[in-house]
Amino acid sequence: MVRKAVLPVAGLGTRFLPATKIIAKEMLPVVDKPAIQYIVEEVARAGVEDVLLVTGMGKSSMEDHFDRRLDLEAALAAKGKDEELALVRGLSELVTMHAVRQHEPLGLGHAILQAAGHVAEDESFVCCLGDDFLHPESDFVERMVEAHERTGRPVIALMEVPDDQVHLYGAAAVEPTDRDGEFRVTHMVEKPDPGTQPSNLIMVGRYVLPGSVFGYIRDTPPGRGGEIQITDALQAMAAEEPIIGLKLDVDRYDTGDKLGYLQATVQLAAMRDDLGPDFLAWLRGWLAEHDG
């Protein structure tokens, strides 16, 4: 059973300065929830009960967000605001939240290694990166966990992107299996130079990994950008334990940069029953006026 998730969220969020000078980028709201909450809800839907945030200096607001806030709860209760009270209370009941610090930005592999004190070598865990989240009702992480439990193999999420975007990601070469959308990963490269990419399949920030990955990370020298890369550790692991790739078949919202963040905000607002109709009517009117 996979019951733990590790969320590396120590990044400085420089792409969103000055907003992220004080506020963690993962706390920026997409409509009315911070981005990190979508991710925690995503892993909770997959059966995760225990989440470890790998944070850094100035990012403790994420822990507070998932804690009780008794003064606010009392104020909401006194005013009979039951719906809001349930929303606030529910946050502390989603999962058991823990945090550990990554003291220095030495790479994603190094961030994940900070979980070694929390996840046993014979335990498996979900790892989700903080820059994107999947459709709020998607069961994709649950299906990754199911593939891991069925095969006993590490599982990574893959997505096809145009040629000129592959160099921004980890990319994978794969072979088909007899299951639709499920592949055997034969080779992985972190941010391949343009023209050298193994395929157009990139590694999205979703992994289901056995605790044995920590040993591989410890043996991984700094790679791309002088950082310890999880992709390099997985490449070493793939030589001994075949890795499974699952192709993403649900919407993904990339909140790691401004354009993706705006797109996510618009799409999620449009999908909401309470906001969508009014928001879209306004947007259509605004576009008609400004497009001439």
Nearer residue to ligand G1P within complex by CB, 174 or 202: 202
Q: Which residues bind ligand G1P (CB under 6 A)?
A: 108, 129, 131, 169-170, 190, 202-205, 229, 231
Distance, in Å, from the CA atom of 164 to the CA atom of 171, rounded to the nearest integer, reads 12
Taking the complex as a whole, how short is the minimal distance between the CB of residue 84 and ligand G1P, in angstroms? 33
Distance, in Å, from the CA atom of 98 to the CA atom of 91, rounded to the nearest integer, reads 14
Cα 270–chain centre separation: 22
Taking the complex as a whole, how short is the minimal distance between the CB of residue 136 and ligand G1P, in angstroms? 19
Nearer residue to ligand G1P within complex by CB, 192 or 269: 192
Residues 223 and 190: beta-carbon distance below 8 Å? yes
Nearer residue to ligand G1P within complex by CB, 108 or 268: 108
Taking the complex as a whole, how short is the minimal distance between the CB of residue 253 and ligand G1P, in angstroms? 12
Nearer residue to ligand G1P within complex by CB, 205 or 245: 205
- Bridge partners of 8? 54
Backbone phi and psi for residue 160, each to the nearest 5 degrees, phi listed first: -85, 135
DSSP-H helix ranges across 23-158: 35-45, 61-65, 70-78, 82-93, 108-113, 140-151
Taking the complex as a whole, how short is the minimal distance between the CB of residue 52 and ligand G1P, in angstroms? 18
Which single residue brings its beta carbon nearest to ligand G1P?
Answer: 170
Taking the complex as a whole, how short is the minimal distance between the CB of residue 144 and ligand G1P, in angstroms? 15
Element of type H or E holding 9: none
Taking the complex as a whole, how short is the minimal distance between the CB of residue 230 and ligand G1P, in angstroms? 6
Taking the complex as a whole, how short is the minimal distance between the CB of residue 72 and ligand G1P, in angstroms? 34
Nearer residue to ligand G1P within complex by CB, 231 or 269: 231
Cα 269–chain centre separation: 20
3-state secondary structure of 118: coil
Residues 90 and 209: beta-carbon distance below 8 Å? no
Nearer residue to ligand G1P within complex by CB, 203 or 246: 203
Residues 131 and 10: beta-carbon distance below 8 Å? no
Written as six digits, the tokens of 53 are 């945030």
Distance, in Å, from the CA atom of 247 to the CA atom of 157, rounded to the nearest integer, reads 6
Residues 243 and 151: beta-carbon distance below 8 Å? no
Nearer residue to ligand G1P within complex by CB, 210 or 256: 256
